[in-house]
A and B are shown apart, each in its own frame.
Chain A
Amino acid sequence: MRWLREHLVLILGILVLIYTFIPIFVVVLMSFNDPTSRLIYRFDGFTLHNWLNPCEPEGMCSALKTSVEIGLLATLGSTILGTLMAFALVRHQFVGRSSMNLLIFLPMATPEIVMGSSLLALFVASGFAGQLGFWTILIAHIMFCISFVVVTVRARLAGMDDNLEQAAMDLYATPRQTFWRVTFPLVFPGILGAALLSFSLSFDDFIITNLNAGNTTTFPMFVWGVAQRGIPMQVNVVGTVMFLVAVLIVVGGEVNNRRRQRALT
């Protein structure tokens, strides 16, 4: 009884955590499903078919390719723009700091449907209604990723000990050497985290993308389309792979961190 009272919160917390994993179990399970009918979505039998033929559903792999391309380019663009802004915010003086903070905060506080519709309104008003596609999606994704990059990199920069940079300067390092040998390596984990966050935001976005996509199909749009018609099990293969890749990256980062910490002590 006493044990239970002491650990009640932890047990409840673990239950909530288990709840968040329920759909993941289903996704993994369904990736091995051998469906008897396209219309009935339930587990009928075990097969490796879906894993061996991931590109069987028509259009899925090309949608996946589009999503990866847009994701990589959006990550590159937003990480560069956002990191530069984060450096300016933490390290430099400029006029209009509070409006700058507002400009960075607002895209995170605006519902996607509103951001998506206003971008579409802009593209239509400026005569790009016919050119909706890869590039308009990319523009939108860079836009909504920037703020997340800024806050992530800013948090890292603000928490950094600047004595190390002072020491480098005292030891006659030029500003350039100080930046590339001391500052940048220290900020890098923050930038990497921001890049991963950007990629997953971009890869997963549906609402803004769907409004500005024209005839281009990304992976979430493909899933949306098949959700009405009967879902190919290969969608769950992609879901499983995404989960595994994310876990590998995060665990790898954690192991690397521990090793570095152990090396320091």
Chain B
Amino acid sequence: MASTAGVAPEVGAPPPEESGRRRGRTGYLLLIPGVVWLALFFVIPFYSLVATSLYDPNGSVFRGYEMTWEFSNYWHALQDYWEPLLRSLWYAALATLICLVLGYVLAYAIAFKAGRWKNLMLVLVIAPFFTSFLVRTLSWKLILADDGLVVNTLQALHLMGADGRLLATPFAVIAGLVYNFLPFMVLPLFASIDKIDHRLIEASSDLYANPFVGFWKVTWPLSLPGVVSGTLLTFIPAAGDYINAQLLGSPNQRMVGNVIQNLFTQANDYPAAGALSMILMILIVVMVLVYVRKAGTEELL
């Protein structure tokens, strides 16, 4: 499973050399089955989603929907659900930032300080995440519970009022997101930091840079590819997640995933659900493009 460590930085970037590749039909034959599957069940569904988001909202799943090009579905979805939408992006951004701090420390420790324990530590990073996502999240619910260890300790230390609680607060939801998406941050960061030539950091200290300046001018810029792919791999699933909000939060912490899920499965309001899904996707694509462009230029500076 350690091979996934190399996954993220490669994402999107075409392999460099073009030489040594065979010409002919075989390449296409190998690609066809996978491409057909992805086209049928990933690309075409997007068209269905766009279509669904533009259906007449007066239809129903049972009577069928009419295509009336209802662009107002988008406007209504925004009006009704701007709050969970913004909350999702905000929680996901905060969780990503905290993941970056925790993940960087861990990845740095594994890459530079772990010595012969490097492989073992890498395995330990992934191991807890083989237990079911939901079971793990439920166990956080127990840890943060009102009469649980954490709350009782905080209350005994008077860091928290007697009626204070952690469950059903934004804290619990963001903590859950941080926990569940941490490996998506650590693995790409590790892949990037592990590649850094240690002599460059030594050179900076030989030239009288203190460790902080050395980190900021040498290590951090060299690890940027890992930072970019790690933050993306954390932010995107966190923004769409609703498991943490549902199990650890209250209706006040509802995220956009909860709303979409309910509109599809309980309210059966497909056009609104489709429109909201599209809005989430568009927002994420725009944010990612801006972010990648910005990170890319910073890298050049």
Residues of A within 8 A of B (CB): 7, 9-10, 12-14, 16-17, 19-24, 26-27, 30, 41-42, 80-82, 84-85, 87-94, 97-98, 100-115, 117-122, 124-126, 129, 139-140, 142-143, 146, 148, 150-152, 154-156, 158-159, 162, 189-190, 193-194, 196-197, 200, 203-204, 206-207, 210-211, 219-220, 223-224, 227, 231, 235-236, 238-240, 242-243, 245-247, 250-251, 254
> Does B136 contact A246, Cβ atoms closer than 8 Å?
no
For B25-58 the 0/1 string (1 means CB < 8 A from A) is 0111011011101100111111011011000000
Chain B's nearest CB lies how many Å from the CB of A264?
17
**Please, which residues of chain B bring their CB within 8 A of the CB of A23?**
128, 131, 136, 139-140, 143, 179
CA distance A60 to B127 in the complex (A): 24
**Please, which residues of chain A bring their CB within 8 A of the CB of B30?**
84-85, 87-88, 92
For B122-139 the 0/1 string (1 means CB < 8 A from A) is 011111111111111011
> Does B106 contact A17, Cβ atoms closer than 8 Å?
yes
> Does A246 contact B130, Cβ atoms closer than 8 Å?
yes
> Does A111 contact B237, Cβ atoms closer than 8 Å?
yes
Q: Does B93 contact A (CB under 8 A)?
A: no
Partner of B113, one of A9, A146, A193, A231: A9
> Does A211 contact B264, Cβ atoms closer than 8 Å?
yes
Main secondary structure of the interface of A (DSSP, over half): helix
> Does A113 contact B260, Cβ atoms closer than 8 Å?
yes
CA distance A22 to B131 in the complex (A): 12
> Does B142 contact A105, Cβ atoms closer than 8 Å?
no
Residues of B within 8 A of A (CB): 1-4, 6-7, 10-15, 18, 20-24, 26-28, 30-31, 33-35, 37-38, 41-46, 48-49, 51-52, 61, 102-103, 105-106, 108-110, 112-114, 119, 121, 123-136, 138-143, 145, 147-148, 179, 182, 232-233, 236-237, 239-243, 247, 256-257, 260-261, 264-265, 270, 273-274, 277, 280-281, 284, 288
Most chain A CB within 10 A, of B11, B43, B109, B237, is at: B109
